[in-house]
Structure 1
Amino acid sequence: MNTQLLYREEEIPIFENESSLPEDDIRWRLAVRVAESPTFASAPLLAKFLLFVCERTIANRTEDLTERNIGIVVFKRRPDFKTSEDNIVRTYARQLRQRLDRYFEEHERDEPLRILVPRGRYCAVFEERIALPQLVTKNFPEQGEPEKSAPLMMNPPMADDAGDAPSRRRGVWAAALLLGLLLAGLAGARMWTLQRTAAAEAAGPVWKEIFQPSMETMIVSADSGLVVLEEFSGKPATLEEYSDGSYFTQFDRNGTEEQRKLQRLSRERYTGVPDVNAAVAMTALPEARKTHVLVRNARALHVEDMKGVNLILLGSAYSTPWVTLYEPQMNFRFRFDQTVYSSYFLNNRPQPGEPEIYRNGSTSPPYSTYAVIGFLPNIDGAGRVLAIEGLTTAGTEAAYGFLLHGEIGAFLKTVPRDANGLRPFEILLRTTSVSSSASTVEIVAKRVY
């Protein structure tokens, strides 16, 4: 692809004093390399969009990157172009983000930098790539010893040592760092157990419908960075704010060290170790080896990606807001009470003897917490969704284990089938533990639809 044909000076009549970029600028070379790749070969307008956004960002002229200017420059709209009547820029921006995700997934080991176009903005962000743990293992061992080290959470936020920072905010950063280390320690003890028992046949009816040879399966890991931002701001993200990126704009400041940490956290993608372990175990299932499986962070997801596939959603609406798309189908719904800063499950239609709300139990050992496993139709009617939500890390891990260890098998024997296969269902689990690690698990409520 000839880059000069994509991006020429005379194609930008509304801008003056064009600045040239150094040929050895690694950011510009990356932008050109991506634009000329096979991923963009069939989409010259997207390639041109990408180069324009990257060039203006590198030249520190992001004020030029308005929706109206992009419409005129890239898409040749008339000078009286009205963004309220023509959404071409927003439509192509969504496609551009999808193509960028695809390119960097395919070149995970090749590119030292990654290009992001944050939702709600049109500037380019160049971030250093950090390799994820290998999630898909085709030659999975049936027997052997556990690995000596477990994958750690990527770049856990560092504790803020600034003396003038509010103690609550310092506590959030310290808690985030400690959480990453604690989860890594737990994962080291539990990871092999999940791997070794992942092929339990008792949960086979679920896995056979989630991993179908004729349909792609996507495992969506929770957005651990979002949780820290929500803890910091005291305001959970709605799905609309999360999907269009507007929730993260409140952290787009870099005046202080604390603000720079928040800004970085709002731009990068973090996944907790329990989700990584669960994804590893799920991709090792015999059923998963017969189909194409993708693992994607919740922040990299678009609603279009969720159509025509089978989905596994890891985490509650607090860390994976996409779960709220399926709430109309669910009876047990995750809620967060800001007045007492606590989460709970709402029993939308209690049956006789059932409480309306399920909250975490005692603040001293033994602890009790809850999790929900939902097996539901996908939003477009094609494919199935397996949603796994917990009020705490212990609850979420208990739900993972309940599926992967085959404990769900006895319940599945009671679930009828129809022409589409296993009927949709929900189960509410209660787990009792003596520490942050789950121990006993039991079904306390269920629904079959």
Structure 2
Amino acid sequence: MLLLPDPFMESPVFNAPETTLLPSRAEWDRLLQRVIDSQPFRRSTRLREFLVYVGNQVVLHGAKELPEQQIGVAVFERSPSYDTSQDNIVRVNAMELRKRIGVYFETEGQNEPLIFEIPRGSYLPVFRLRAVPPAEPAFQEPVPTVEEERTIEALVPELSLDKVPAEAAWHEAFRTPVVLALLVLILGLTVWVIVASRQLHQEESGIHKWQSQPAMRDFWGNFFGKKLAPDIVIADSSFVLAQSILHRKLSLAEYLNFSYRTAQSPEALSSDARQQQMKDLAAIFDHSSGSLADFRVARRITELETGDFGTRLVFAREYAGHRLRWNNTIFVGSSRSNPWVELYEDRMAYHFKESTDSSPSAVTIDKPVGNERAEYPLYSSKGTPAAYCIIVFVPNPTKTGNTLIIAGSDSQATEAGGTFSPVKRTSRRSRRS
């Protein structure tokens, strides 16, 4: 494929190979994550989404061409009938995207073996291996002449093996420490190769836990075996504590713009009480904290897939929201502890009703079916506590992957939900949610 020069990105990085290649999904996912997390892309959400979309079109869907209007609709939320001759938002952003890709591979990504660019006249990334400078010729020790060899042998006659019987020289050679060490090393490597090959054969001939039964295979096959590691997003316990201090629910928007760090309670507070509240919030958010129960749930899921792709464990505070548009994602915790779940609440049939202090007080059902009640309180009239877990399985926003939500009324309920098995027949309630 012939690549056209780009006047907006004069970079020596793309000077070489004449052949192009296409990375695997796993290679692309890892490279993409490093690029969009880099300094040139860190503050530009729209350019990150632009790169994710066009890259996935090539790697995941094998696109050979990508119209400007399609990008405008998918990335920049233009109407399907918008006029590209009047609205050049895609072309302008493509110019900036080309620049930043070049900056990344010249700076933070200067050691990336696999690189890509988006040539002018196209919106599809082109991948290639980085050009490697020619290696310097290896040093070759000069070969002594016949006269030099005779001189050395005359000066040090005991070094000449001609003076030693052949059989004695052979036995003497195998008594030297260097030769003995080499023999031990060769023997050890041989044993290691045999053991490693047997383990590899066992892994290739065996199956992962999620493939062990038909029902598990049908369910977890939506997340595993796709050559793309699903994201497991762990809840943020600090977010829960902040809502308990403020006595109100915090939104995903407040979480993303960090205004939850300085949020205020709905009730009026004295100056001293407000200052103490601010100190408490600062102390909470200076540390990252998670629930042990959530980590146990994540561990059970990661144990299902132990292959090359595995899973990607992410803390809610470090998660990049654009990934849920294209990836398979598993959220652990309700929207009270994992604010990303808020994006899916309008697609859920079951919800946690909140009390005045923002803590859950009941599970409500939008449209009860059969013997279901509209509401299931977390405490009975006698004060006996109950716990519920809502499990949600829906497509991701772009319908290119799937989303699983395991949301409990508390951490113990979330852990209990994490032990669910699709092998057993589920009730109508769990199927609906």
TM-score, reference length from structure 1? 0.45
Q: Whose strand fraction is larger, Structure 1's or Structure 2's?
A: 1
**Rg larger for:** 2
TM-score, reference length from structure 2? 0.47
